[in-house]
Structure 1
Amino acid sequence: MTSFWVAGSPASGSESLTVISPADGSVAGVTSYATASQVEQAVAAASQTFELSAAQRASALDHVSATLAARRDEVAALITAENGKPAVWAQAEVTRAISTFRWAAEEARRFSGELMRLDTDPAAAGRMALIRRFPRGPVLGITPFNFPLNLVAHKVAPAIAVGAPIIVKPAPATPLSALLLGSILAETDLPAGMFSFLPLPNSRAAELVADPRLPVVSFTGSDTVGAAIRAAVPHKHVTLELGGNAAAVVCSDYSNLDWAAERIALFSNYQAGQSCIAVQRVIVHSSVADAFLELLLEKVAALDFDAQVGPMISEAAAERVEGWVRESGAKVLAGGTRDGSRYQPTVLTDVPSGAKVVTQEVFGPVLAVSTVDSDDLAFEEVNRSRFGLQAGVFTSNIQTAHKAHAVLRVGGVIIGDVPSYRADQMPYGGVKDSGSGREGVRSAMEDYTEARVLVLTGLTL
């Protein structure tokens, strides 16, 4: 049985948790749920005050990055076993986690503060301000199943980088990668209370969210759960990385339609579309729509299901997607069939405007294609969504690129590629129902901390 981590020490609970691989129904591993007393022990330990030097924090983060690199194949195999994603995407996730911890180590070394002269006003002669950021307090990180390592890394790495203790509640469907990460952290010289990894049923998350000793809540998951968390603890600092129905726009000027079709086909279906920035909507200028759609269908048909798509996290998840497609009444040009947890890559046209497959987050391998007669209308269509995470814009016109950046109400605009692109050091997050706050190591470090000003008086400046 795989141990979980309570205040830096291995532990097990009385109720077992068996992790089933969605790929073949085999047992990926067994762990257990933390008991109420173990949760209390973790929170009490995190509530202590730790004074860690930048060298200590950076050294621990460097160790995690190096260890993940040395154990890359083992870690990737574990991700595939518990999550079902194809090996190519599991390897990519490990690579990203290595980078996330490396960036955090670098940021820990330079997270120093700012000097501000105050003698710009005659009344403040001889005064200077030192502005530093200090942890708001212990962080509660709640993570989803679709990136069971790297989305945990995006909670843990910035917390350690700023010296904030963190308690992680991983998704019950995929806790094993997080627990492996805990075992690597246990090899460092971080104080015991700096980290805990607690498998818990989702029904028990509310008790941690409400605990006043955890003033920061960082949640990645569905918009409905995120909204409930925000409503439950309005007095806390809550960062929410929520869902989306990401759009890709193919503009009238864009000539490399083969590239656009290839990228959209792959990243609407990679790891079964279970990514909040998987391409869900494609809005194509009418002047290139016929040529693009023909290429898109060719690229979708050419996908290797086992190597590039893979199963959904459960048969129930695949059944939900199947139901949404059926009830939409859209024209199905490709896919639309299910075998257990395996849902075939699906391309839809003539989708009614109120259908769930365009208004909500499908979180499956489904792509809805529509046409418009101008790029401006395409941008309006992107903004019509209640979500606003990222958008991709295929254009070769620098003016169109800048206009997209100015008018699209999303957290990130990707020019010449799909909205699924993310570099782990860049600010990442959404607007509207896609959440609040930003990840991307430095941005999360700022979210986990608050500014504190020290004014020095009587200086010779």
Structure 2
Amino acid sequence: MAMKLAGKKMLLAGEWVEREDKIDVLNPENNEWIDSVPAASKKDIEKAITLAKEGSDIAANMSVRERMDILNKAASYIEEHHEDFARTIALEGVKTINEARGETTRAAETLRLSAEEARRLTGESVNFDQMPGNKDRMGYYFRFPVGVVAAITPFNDPLNLVAHKLGPAVAAGNAIIIKPATETPLSALKMADAFMKAGLPKKVLTVITGRSRDIGDSLIESKDVNMISFTGGYETGEMISKKAGLKKISMELGSNSPFIVRKDADLKLAAAAAASGAFAAAGQNCLSVQRMYVEEEVYDSLREEFLKHVRDVKMGDKLSDSSDMGPLINEKEARRIESWVQEAKEQGASILTGGVRRGAFYEPTVVEEAPENALLVKEEIFGPVVLLFKVKDLEEAIERSNDVNYGLQAGIFTNNVNSALQAAKKLHVGGVMINDSSDFRIDAMPFGGVKGSGLGREGVEFAIREMSEERLVCFKITEE
């Protein structure tokens, strides 16, 4: 039975508005209708930008205490309605109810972190007298907001990734326009409601629902938008960077995460971490474990232990507490993954477990001996598929880990500190998780990648830096 949610309006500069043209929000598990949201037009986005310019002045003039109070009140609202937020995430998206509960908890924490970092948005004094002839000068710099931030968020974390844009933007004193994924707008709208109830002034926030083809270019090309914060695919990110013009850009564009297991590693811990990191959110996670490089001395043992964990993953109803994994975001994506696995199989790869699609569901799958030129190896799978490779040593594992156009995070299991340091130094990624999965993240840490994995860093403190600028003030002291 369909569950009716309050998703019929979008927030345009602090006002809830309806539109005749609608977009249906469907449950990817069964294509059941959940609700409908407005399909915004080009005129809507132009109005949102115009009002956001006014909102940027309002936001910049809010005191640090006002920003902190609003962020903390919004976090409290989410905590008070925790199960409602979690069910919305699970219904419209790909996460199980337990995964959705975890995301809801993290979203509230992200907002509280943003409140804490707002008070730390400080500058420093500058010693101008370090240069000869400047003894009569003194000064400092402080940080000021960039103005209007446009944030584009994906379907796989429909609440917490909105929090990672909205929280830092408010903390830094900006106005923000959020364009959530077309498939999962309801969570973002609920987040907007939390901020309105927390007392965020009108015009500071817009959450606009619509089709990217209708409103995307108007948003990213506008000269009145001062920064774009985008989380999504590489091709879309590349297109945005070409169209955006001269403005700040922060992008997290996905990955193809390597996971290295050395012969001295704790294999039970490594296998459990790999399985958890590979199949959370059905592998639709930019940090998901994709390529496992295991030293040949322990390859057979690790493979056996890993396969036990994979076969224990329970795929099923997202709202069931007993389900470990839900569907892909739609059947089209499941068919894409199915075709990629089939291509690798035709090129000589072996499927050790899984490889079966049922509608939008795709079984947890482990592939062995995939050729290096297969799409599964070179591109981001973004699904529940893991590749196993045997390597002779750490040097080979690092070399093959780096041989893709992505570099977000990597994991390595070893009990040798020198191996850990070598991996940390030589892996071309934004983060190295030692004795942990590549999927590990806390919301306070710097988060971002190199190569095709993006530009800049998220994580609350670091996103606030991206969403603000330094302004230098210099006094020349004159005698009266």
Work out whether the TM-score is over 0.5.
yes
Of residues 28-37 and 343-352 in structure 1, the stretch that sits farther from structure 2 once superposed is 28-37
**TM-score between both structures, scaled by the size of structure 2:** 0.93
Quick one: which amino acid aligns to residue 403 of structure 1? Q
For 1:239, which of 244, 247, 250 is the aligned residue? 250
Q: By how many angstroms is 1:151 displaced?
A: 0.7
Q: Could you say which residue in structure 2 is the equivalent of 1:308?
A: 324
For 2:413, which of 394, 410, 434 is the aligned residue? 394
Q: Could you say which residue in structure 1 is the equivalent of 2:49?
A: 43
Q: By how many angstroms is 1:252 displaced?
A: 2.1
Matches within 5 A, 1:250-399: 250-254=261-265, 256-306=266-316, 307-329=323-345, 330-399=349-418
Q: Residue deviations 1:93-122, cap 9 Å, x none?
A: 111101110000001122121122222334
Quick one: which amino acid aligns to residue 409 of structure 1? H
Q: Could you say which residue in structure 2 is the equivalent of 1:23?
A: 29
Q: CA RMSD in A?
A: 1.3
Counterpart-to-counterpart distance in 1, 2:256 and 2:324: 20
Q: SS where residue 166 of structure 1 aligns?
A: strand
For 2:168, which of 158, 162, 166 is the aligned residue? 158
Unaligned runs of 5+ in 1: none
Q: By how many angstroms is 1:16 displaced?
A: 1.0
Matches within 5 A, 1:380-459: 380-458=399-477
Unaligned runs of 5+ in 2: 1-6, 317-322
Q: Is residue 235 of structure 2 the alignment partner of residue 224 of structure 1?
A: yes
Q: SS where residue 367 of structure 2 aligns?
A: strand
Q: Could you say which residue in structure 2 is the equivalent of 1:203?
A: 213
Counterpart-to-counterpart distance in 1, 2:212 and 2:244: 17
| 2:94–2:282 CA contact under 8 A, matched in 1 | no
| 1:33–1:201 CA contact under 8 A, matched in 2 | yes
Quick one: which amino acid aligns to residue 76 of structure 1? A
Q: By how many angstroms is 1:459 displaced?
A: 9.4
Q: Could you say which residue in structure 2 is the equivalent of 1:119?
A: 129
Q: By how many angstroms is 1:129 displaced?
A: 2.4
Quick one: which amino acid aligns to residue 332 of structure 1? I
Counterpart-to-counterpart distance in 2, 1:34 and 1:232: 20
| 1:14–1:35 CA contact under 8 A, matched in 2 | no
What is the number of equivalent residue pairs in this alignment?
459
Q: Is residue 95 of structure 2 the alignment partner of residue 85 of structure 1?
A: yes
Quick one: which amino acid aligns to residue 125 of structure 1? K
Q: Is residue 187 of structure 2 the alignment partner of residue 171 of structure 1?
A: no
Quick one: which amino acid aligns to residue 387 of structure 1? Y
Counterpart-to-counterpart distance in 2, 1:189 and 1:344: 45
Q: By how many angstroms is 1:267 displaced?
A: 1.6
Q: SS where residue 288 of structure 2 aligns?
A: coil
Q: SS where residue 433 of structure 2 aligns?
A: strand
Counterpart-to-counterpart distance in 2, 1:234 and 1:395: 45
Matches within 5 A, 1:90-109: 90-109=100-119
Quick one: which amino acid aligns to residue 181 of structure 2? A
For 1:139, which of 116, 134, 149 is the aligned residue? 149
| 2:94–2:156 CA contact under 8 A, matched in 1 | no
For 1:148, which of 153, 158, 163 is the aligned residue? 158
Q: Could you say which residue in structure 2 is the equivalent of 1:212?
A: 223
Q: Is residue 16 of structure 2 the alignment partner of residue 10 of structure 1?
A: yes
Q: SS where residue 47 of structure 1 aligns?
A: helix
Counterpart-to-counterpart distance in 1, 2:206 and 2:72: 19
| 1:252–1:375 CA contact under 8 A, matched in 2 | no
Q: Residue deviations 1:163-190, cap 9 Å, x none?
A: 1100000000000000011111111332
| 2:40–2:211 CA contact under 8 A, matched in 1 | no
| Structure 1 stretches of at least 4 aligned residues deviating more than 3 Å after TM superposition | none
| 1:13–1:35 CA contact under 8 A, matched in 2 | no
Q: Is residue 197 of structure 2 the alignment partner of residue 187 of structure 1?
A: yes
| 1:250–1:285 CA contact under 8 A, matched in 2 | yes
Percent identical residues: 36
Q: By how many angstroms is 1:126 displaced?
A: 4.2
Counterpart-to-counterpart distance in 2, 1:259 and 1:381: 23
Counterpart-to-counterpart distance in 2, 1:143 and 1:154: 10
